[in-house]
Amino acid sequence: MALSESQIPPDAQHYLVCGFEDCERNCLFYCNPCHQLMCEQCKDNHQKSPKTKNHEVVPYRERKRQIPVEKCSNHPTKDIDILCDECNVPLCSKCSTMPVHKGHSFIDLETIYTEKSAACTEEIQKIQTYFMPTAKDLQKEIKMDATEIKAIIDSIRSSMRDEAKSLKKLVDEVTSDNIEQVNKMEESLKEMLQSQDKTYQDYISYLEDLVKQFQGYLSSTQLQCNPILSSLSEHLKIRPIPETTKSVPPVFTAGQYSKEDVVKLLGRVTVPDTKPENRKIKPMETAVSIQLKPTGKQRKQDREKSDMKQTQSQSSSVTKVREYTVPGVDGVYHVSLGKSGRLWGSDKKGNLVQTDLQGNQLQKIQTSGGYEGYHTVTQDGDLIYIDKDNKVINRIALDNTITEFIKTGGGILPLSIHSSHIIGDLLVGMICKVTRYNKTGKEIQNIERDNKGQELYRCPHYITENINGDICTSDIKIVVVVNKSGQHRFSYTGQGSQFDSRGLCTDLLGHILVCDFYSDTVDLLDQDGQFLCHLLTKQQGVTHPHSVCVDDENNLIVGRNNTNTLTVYKYLQ
């Protein structure tokens, strides 16, 4: 059933039917005097008819709005159709002859209604094409912020528990050492007292023997040979009682500490003294351009813009080369290229799998990693990966031996890692900073703030290096690029109202390629941060892109979080 004109929403895109009886062709034109929808054929017939040949027939979108039918209160048989310009009162044509309106000027009410309706339509279009989508984008941003805040808070809780465990372990170690020391003191004192006890026991035995000797003298019946008569004085010389020292027991001195001392040891959580940034609201003039009656010049400009946009999006010819799967994972959140055409792929559950280019599983490791870029391959072909639970970085050599390479410590959670193919350093993205280690695992650089003292990073969950030594990170909704000295060069926040940056990589021309999870695109930037094009889009079958890397043949490999299939594209000629 066809809709009446009053039922048609101003922004609707539907099939308008010609209003003449038994004509079901598409409506393109509108007769303002008749308020009639008509197709091109009926328009020609309408303009040929003697009765209607002088009627104003216009394209449908340029039509005058039909005013609602309302009878005049003074002249019930007449419709209200004019406006007194002096009194600003709607009237019927007969009212204009009344003495009260004598000499006044009048305006066609239909013209005014059309103008006001056009203004209302324009406001509706603004609401539907700018204000409503922008507000919904901001609402989505808030929900994503809530998710990210929860992840950060969970990470802080985990760090606090880890710190408490570390302190408790140290307390247990110190207590154990102290008890061992007391045990040794006790043993020494026991040995000393046992020695003194033996001394007196020997002396008592000596005295007992002496008593028996004297009793023998007294009970002897032979006086001539009794020593008591001749040399008693010699036998009365009793050895003195041995002298011993009293033992000095140890004294325990209780530790002097306060709750504040424990807080210093465990650390504290504070809110940065940073003024919150206002959420970015895109300007309406860049978000939508509304013109109810576009002129020929405007139509030409729109076509030129459309042609330019189309040329820009096709500036790089992208061809799908092949696809293959990474077994053992439910999505490919990060990819690290190894030697001999092998690669490592990981999912959010900590499954880290090595495959060849045919998708055959060669090795599988269970890690504590998640959706971050937590693994990389060195120039020598060794796999380096982060153990978040223990805050260490492990190395797996080609012979599959696993060694603990770096212990980050300090309660700072490592998130992402990249092995430089320029000088072999390791770049590690951590909460609120990036740290550089040399080949031996020695910390040589920390990058935290720009030259104005503002924090550069929050959660750099992907990190890579460009051919000019720039350090590129994918943080929360932003790509941050600093030079090799740590000076901030630029930041990239996407092309739409919302940007959800995930995996990123660079190529031999210094391009930066980054996944925008929100818009289902892979964006191509030059090494100075200039947006070049959407290299891959949803229209090309790319949904939920999460990881990217460029292989030795300059092909782009794309992983997604909703499938374990990797897609390989040729994009450099």
pLDDT tens column, 451-460: 888 999 999 9
Output the average pLDDT for the chain: 85
Say which range, 272-281, 412-421, 470-479, has the weakest mean pLDDT: 272-281
Place of tokens 């609201």: 281
Say if 141 falls within a structural domain.
no
Is 228 among the domain residues? no
In the block, tokens 């010819």 appear at 317
| Tens digits of residue pLDDT in 214-241 | 888 787 766 666 666 666 666 668 889 9
Question: Which amino acid is residue 156, in one-letter code?
Answer: I
Query: What are φ and ψ of residue 184, in 5° steps?
Result: -65, -40
Q: State the burial class of residue 315 (Cβ atoms within 10 Å of its Cβ: 0-12, 13-18, 19+).
A: exposed
Mean pLDDT of 362-387: 92
User: Quick check: 291 pLDDT over 50?
Assistant: no
Q: With bands split at pLDDT 50, 70 and 90, how would you rate the model's confidence at 25?
A: confident
Question: Does the pLDDT of residue 4 top 60, yes or no?
Answer: no
Name which of 22-36, 142-156, 304-318 the model is least confident about. 304-318
At 336 the pLDDT is 95
Report how far residue 109's alpha carbon sits from residue 79's, in angstroms, rounded to the nearest whole number: 11
Q: Per-residue pLDDT for 313 more than 80?
A: no
Write the pLDDT tens digit of every residue in 90-129: 999 899 999 999 889 998 888 888 888 888 888 888 898 8
Q: CATH number, domain at 473?
A: 2.130.10.10
CA angle, residues 462, 464, 466, in degrees to nearest 5: 150
Instruction: Please compute the mean of the pLDDT values over residues 25-45 and round it to a whole number.
Output: 89
Average pLDDT, stretch 494-507?
A: 92
pLDDT at 437 over 80: yes
The closest alpha carbon to 373, from 448, 454, 314, 429, belongs to 429
Count up the domains in the chain and report the number.
Answer: 2
pLDDT of residue 26 exceeding 90: no
Is the residue at 117 inside a domain?
no
**H or E element: which one contains 30?**
strand 29-31
Q: Tell which residue, 511, 493, 573, has the closest CA to residue 548.
A: 511
Where among 111, 143, 169 does a domain terminate?
A: 111
Is the pLDDT assigned to residue 538 strictly greater than 80?
yes
Q: What local confidence, expressed as pLDDT, does residue 193 receive? A: 94
Residue 169: pLDDT above 60? yes
Question: What are 366-375's pLDDT values in tens digits?
Answer: 999 988 999 9
423 in any annotated domain: yes
Using CA atoms, how far apart are residues 309 and 533, in angstroms rounded to an integer?
9
Band (pLDDT 50/70/90 cuts) for residue 288 is very low
- At 13 the pLDDT is 39
Containing structural domain, residue 54: 5-111
In-domain check, residue 199: no
Burial class for 524, CB neighbours closer than 10 Å (0-12, 13-18, 19+): buried
| Within-domain flag for 542 | yes
Check residue 223 and give its pLDDT.
67
Domain boundary among 83, 111, 139: 111
Mean pLDDT of 468-491: 94
> Is 70 exceeded by the pLDDT of residue 140?
yes
What pLDDT does residue 413 have?
Answer: 85
pLDDT for residue 461 is more than 90? yes
- Which SS3 state, helix, strand or coil, does residue 46 take? helix
- DSSP H helices in 71-108: none
Mean pLDDT of 462-476: 94
- Domain termination residue (choose one: 111, 146, 172): 111
Report the CATH number that the domain containing residue 48 is assigned in CATH: 3.30.160.60
pLDDT score for 113: 84
Amino acid, single-letter form, for residue 64: K
Tell me which of 48-62, 111-125, 353-367 is least confident: 111-125
Contact assessment for residue 385 and residue 396, using Cβ atoms and an 8 Å cutoff = yes
Burial class for 126, CB neighbours closer than 10 Å (0-12, 13-18, 19+)? middle
pLDDT for 46:
92
Model confidence pLDDT, tens digit, residues 399-430: 788 889 998 876 688 999 999 988 889 999 99
Q: Which amino acid is at 97?
A: T
Q: Is residue 250 part of a domain?
A: no
Burial of 164 (0-12, 13-18, 19+ CB in 10 A): middle
The per-residue pLDDT for 417 is 96
d(CA 152, CA 158): 10
Q: Is residue 136 part of a domain?
A: no
Does residue 298 register a pLDDT over 60?
Answer: no
Mean pLDDT within 536-540? 90
Amino acid, res. 204: I
Query: Which residue would you say has higher pLDDT here, 102 or 316?
Result: 102
Residue 544 CB neighbours (<10 A): 15
DSSP three-state, residue 310? helix
Task: List the one residue out of 50, 49, 30 whose CA is nearest residue 40.
Answer: 30
pLDDT tier, 14 (very low <50, low <70, confident <90, very high otherwise): very low
Whether residue 176 is predicted with pLDDT greater than 80 in this model: the reply is yes
pLDDT over threshold 80, residue 2: no
Return the pLDDT at 294. 39
